[in-house]
Amino acid sequence: MDYENIRVETRGRVALVTLHRPAALNALCNALIAELNHALDGYEADAGIGCIVITGSEKAFAAGADIREMQDRTHPEFYMADPFGEWDKVGRRRKPIIAAVAGYALGGGCELALMCDFILAADTAKFGQPEIKLGVIPGAGGTQRLTRAVGKAKAMELCLTGRMMDAAEAERSGLVARVVPAADLLAEAMKAAETIASMSLPAVMVAKESVDRAFETTLTEGIRYERRVFYGLFATHDQKEGMSAFVEKRKPNFENR
Ligand code: CO8
């Protein structure tokens, strides 16, 4: 399928989605989010895909939600259309998604990156929630996911001042998993995605779900949950294969079941 605002390609078991609205620094209009969700729906249903990478351009991962599209909205229009419902779908995906961020990841762009499972950043990356400068606040999870990622002090400072954080500060704060030279960003993201996609998909999906559970529940409940799904993995072919391969000193041949 041809999209207008994103580019998609598949490399082996990895799907690569490139946000592509260069004239607007990849500002996230409704049509782009709809296309992204359409592509992600396909990858979720495709047993041949084990991991997804979302990236942008050298200059911008995404400079936020599309301000031009939003500026004249009224409260009832926004409430009835509930565009955030569409955004939320990205954060509820079951297969792993890596955000490969170069340049600006601002406002909704930072929030989109935060919806992914982890962020790899180029040394050129700049993160921020500048909505306060527009007379509003982050609306796609920024006040919540950013706070969980970097703690109250830094999240509060970013949301109240709108200042940007560079890649080094983002790594120090725990917002990004790793910073790499800009020229290596896509290769590093694809390498990480290929590693993930080579694992047992049920184990990967359960690991993702379990880590996410840590943000939703108490420690006792989270540990109980982890233990249940750990035991559950012993019903999979891949557990038998993974452990047999270790004992037999060979590489596992996971069948994703
Ligand atoms: N929306 C629409 N257009 C944008 C956006 C945006 N967020 N960001 C940049 N553009 C456009 C500019 O208008 C400009 O277009 P044109 O050439 O037609 O004038 C083009 O992209 C290039 O931008 P600049 O000329 O400004 O480029 P600079 O290199 O000078 O500056 C910046 C780059 C610093 C990134 C600057 O563009 C900027 O500050 N952008 C806005 C950042 C921002 O405020 N983001 C937050 C938006 S609000 C939000 O994200 C709320 C999320 C809630 C979810 C909403 C769900 C519906």
What ipTM, to 2 d.p.? Answer: 0.97
Q: How far is the CA of 194 from the centre of ligand 1 (A)?
A: 32
Residues 184, 144 within the same domain: yes
| Most informative mutation of 19, 21, 25 for ligand 1 (most atoms within 8 A of CB) | 25
- Residue 9 is among the residues annotated as catalytic for this protein: no
Looking at the structure of the chain, the number of domains it has is 2
Is 251 within a domain?
no
Question: What is the edge-to-edge ordering of all strands in the sheet holding 165-166?
Answer: 60-62, 104-106, 126-128, 165-166
Nearest atom, ligand 1, residue 134 CA: 44
Residues 69, 151 within the same domain: yes
* Nearest CA owner, ligand 1 atom 4: 24
Q: What is the DSSP secondary structure assignment for residue 146, as one 8-state letter?
A: I
Quote the pLDDT of residue 1: 75
DSSP 3-state helix, strand, coil percentages of the chain (rounded to 5)? 55, 15, 30
- Residue 111 is among the residues annotated as catalytic for this protein: yes
Quote the pLDDT of residue 256: 81
Q: How far is the CA of 83 from the centre of ligand 1 (A)?
A: 18
Quote the pLDDT of residue 226: 98
Residues 38, 151 within the same domain: yes
Residues 240, 168 within the same domain: no
* Nearest CA owner, ligand 1 atom 42: 63
Paired tokens of 128: 């921020």
- Residue 171 is among the residues annotated as catalytic for this protein: no
Burial pattern 31-50, b for ≥16 Cβ within 10 A else e, equals ebbebbbebbeebeeeeebb
Give the Cβ contact number of residue 124 at 10 Å: 18
Is 252 within a domain?
no
* Nearest CA owner, ligand 1 atom 27: 25
Quote the pLDDT of residue 257: 72
Is 98 within a domain?
yes
Q: Where are the beta strands (DSSP E) in the chain?
A: 6-11, 14-19, 51-55, 60-62, 97-101, 104-106, 118-122, 126-128, 165-166, 178-180
Residues 138, 20 within the same domain: yes
Residues 93, 209 within the same domain: no
Residues touching ligand 1 (Cβ under 6 Å) are 24-25, 27, 63-68, 83-84, 87, 104, 106-108, 130-131, 134, 138-140
- Residue 108 is among the residues annotated as catalytic for this protein: yes
**CA distances to 67, 94, 124 from 173, in Å:** 28, 26, 16
Domain interval for residue 168:
4-195
Task: State the amino acid at position 127 in one-letter form.
Answer: F
Residues 115, 211 within the same domain: no
Average pLDDT per consecutive 10 residues, the chain (257 residues; last block may be shorter): 94 98 98 98 97 98 97 95 92 97 98 98 98 97 97 98 98 98 98 97 97 96 97 97 98 89
Residues 146, 179 within the same domain: yes
pTM above 0.90, yes or no: yes
Residues 38, 62 within the same domain: yes
Q: How far is the CA of 69 from the centre of ligand 1 (A)?
A: 11
Residues 132, 191 within the same domain: yes
